[in-house]
Structure 1
Amino acid sequence: MNFLTNDKLLIVGAGGMIGSNMVQSALMLGLTPNICLYDIYEPGVHGVFDEIQQCAFPGVNVTYTVNPEEAFTGAKYIISSGGAPRKEGMTREDLLKGNCKIAAEFGDNIKKYCPEVEHVVVIFNPADVTALTALIHSGLKPNQLTSLAALDSTRLQQALALEFGVQQDKVTGAHTYGGHGEQMAVFASQVKVDGKPLSEMGLSAERWEEIKHHTVQGGSNII
């Protein structure tokens, strides 16, 4: 296989569903052959490691650990889904206290063990706040850390595409603003459907409110 780089990629929370998918995706995309799986739950991350090994990707060096020093040392790229999952009936804000503590520890580990990291991606909820917390604790520059940014906008885009029976990429200008949570703002003024302004599509105010609610509550619909 040809890889984009040989640098170490660390997947934090690799024992979970999102983390394990990130491992497989990184290998299938040929990002790097050197991937470390890290999770505090040994049986989970061990199981993911075994599954990846049994896929028999050629020329790869996949390791796993529950030791943060071993995991973070030498990492040039990091993807973290290592927060507590959102459960039924919970809002993203309900996760705030616990996951911000996890994000702070995550940032501290970066600063302590891999301050030369190139880029970090944070994708556990509430992603805007956990990413900022990790950024502050890591000491990285803002352009070195990315958080989950487009999901709410693409949920709005999907809902409108389904509403009007068009391909999703035909809906443009579907943007949400503010926090990745219950207080996000959803606007219609810039939305176009197949080049036509949403205001000319005959969408009732009541239906628009339903679509907005679906966008804000999109995560709970999946749980």
Structure 2
Amino acid sequence: MGKKVTVVGAGFYGSTTAQRLAEYDIFDTVVITDIVDGKPEGLALDINQSRPIEGFETLVVGKTTGADGAGYEVIAGSDVVVITAGLPRKPGMSRMDLLETNAKIVRQVSEQVARHAPDAVVIVVSNPLDEMTAMAQLATGFPRNRVLGQAGMLDTARFSHFVAEALSVPVGTVRTLTLGSHGDTMVPVPSRSTVNGKPLREVMPAEQIEELVVRTRNGGAEVVALLKTGSAYYAPSAAAARMARAVAQDSGEVMPVCAWVDGDYGISGVYLGVEAELGAQGVRRIVQTELDADELTALKAAAEAVRAKQGDVADL
């Protein structure tokens, strides 16, 4: 034990992530912070009162923080910091519509993380994801392997769910993969997707795969449109919590994440969705997978689309 994890932002995403992390019962402390006065303290109190029922010992600590950095001393010594702070999408908004607003928030938070938890691995979930991951790395000044983003785990989960639902098979029998960006240039990898060990292309017609790919790419927007206020948080928080657990346990699990790519797939100098081996220092290594020609072309196109936007965040 002796482990500490912080979740910055106590909205639905942050609070659900904190709950999942606490229920793993592998941390001494889960810290949750927010700028809304009293909200993180109230959530912490509520989650702590579930401990006798759910049977976990992890203590949740809530702390209201100020834009000036007041209260951030509570995160000192965190092994992992999950940044969920920022505005969620509203119906009709793209992830990119949030760029300027959330860049300011993520920059402020990242500077406080660097000050108070200089050894932490940072997992970014704020949108637009790829750009905010780049922003967090710039603002913390941390080595790039210690700053990563949550995207591929969620997109892959959505894709797998849609495949399982369409074929009426247990979700545990489906393996899918998505790479690229979190958004319009998401690159699904049907060549690496299987159902009961059989290639997806053998059990589902190409046009149906394409339909599910499009639905996966728009997975967040579909939830936003139905909810009308707020955005997805159950599946996203599950993904972020699993990533934080892999780091905390130095597990070496291979997961699709937003990581710094420098040479893999012939792509260099950009944060991009790839498979990576996770451990105590964040990304141990990028795991390069066999892609067919179309998939590789799409991944390179995604890298260039994201690169242009990541170049812009330095000025925000």
| TMscore range, shorter length | 0.7 to 0.9
Task: Identify the match of residue 42 of structure 2 among 29, 40, 47.
Answer: 47
* Shift of residue 20, structure 1, vs aligned partner: 1.3
1:11 pairs with 2:14: no
Distance (whole Å) between structure 2 residues aligned to residue 179 and residue 61 of structure 1 = 33
Amino acid at match of 1:79: V
| Structure 1 pair 197–126 and aligned structure 2 pair: CA distance change class (3 A) | same
Higher relative contact order (CA 8 A, sep 6+): 2
SS in structure 2 at match of 1:86: coil
Q: Kindly provide the CA deviation profile for residues 198-219 of structure 1, in whole angstroms up to 9, marking residues without a partner as x.
A: 33225152x3332121101111
Aligned equivalent of 1:110: 113
Aligned equivalent of 1:194: 196
Task: Identify the match of residue 21 of structure 2 among 20, 26, 41.
Answer: 26
Amino acid at match of 2:102: N
* TM-score, normalisation: structure 1: 0.84
Calculate percent identity across the aligned residue pairs: 28
CA-based RMSD? 2.3
| Contact 2:43 2:62 (C-alpha < 8 Å) held by counterparts | no
Amino acid at match of 1:105: Q
Distance (whole Å) between structure 2 residues aligned to residue 86 and residue 61 of structure 1 = 28
Amino acid at match of 1:161: A
Distance (whole Å) between structure 2 residues aligned to residue 11 and residue 199 of structure 1 = 39
Q: Count residues with an aligned counterpart.
A: 215
Aligned equivalent of 2:162: 159
| Contact 1:81 1:122 (C-alpha < 8 Å) held by counterparts | yes
Distance (whole Å) between structure 1 residues aligned to residue 21 and residue 168 of structure 2 = 33
* TM-score, normalisation: structure 2: 0.61
Aligned equivalent of 2:182: 180
Amino acid at match of 2:2: N
Larger proportion of strand: 2
| Structure 1 pair 97–30 and aligned structure 2 pair: CA distance change class (3 A) | same
Amino acid at match of 1:28: E
| Structure 1 pair 84–167 and aligned structure 2 pair: CA distance change class (3 A) | same
* Shift of residue 109, structure 1, vs aligned partner: 1.5
Aligned equivalent of 1:82: 85
| Contact 2:87 2:98 (C-alpha < 8 Å) held by counterparts | yes
Gaps spanning 5+ residues in structure 1: where? none
Distance (whole Å) between structure 1 residues aligned to residue 189 and residue 48 of structure 2 = 46
SS in structure 2 at match of 1:78: strand
Gaps spanning 5+ residues in structure 2: where? 225-316
Distance (whole Å) between structure 1 residues aligned to residue 169 and residue 103 of structure 2 = 39
| Contact 1:93 1:181 (C-alpha < 8 Å) held by counterparts | no
| Contact 1:178 1:185 (C-alpha < 8 Å) held by counterparts | yes
Aligned equivalent of 2:215: 214
* Shift of residue 103, structure 1, vs aligned partner: 1.9
SS in structure 2 at match of 1:50: helix
| Structure 1 pair 89–30 and aligned structure 2 pair: CA distance change class (3 A) | same
Q: Kindly provide the CA deviation profile for residues 143-195 of structure 1, in whole angstroms up to 9, marking residues without a partner as x.
A: 223321311122111111111121223223x2222110122122423322222
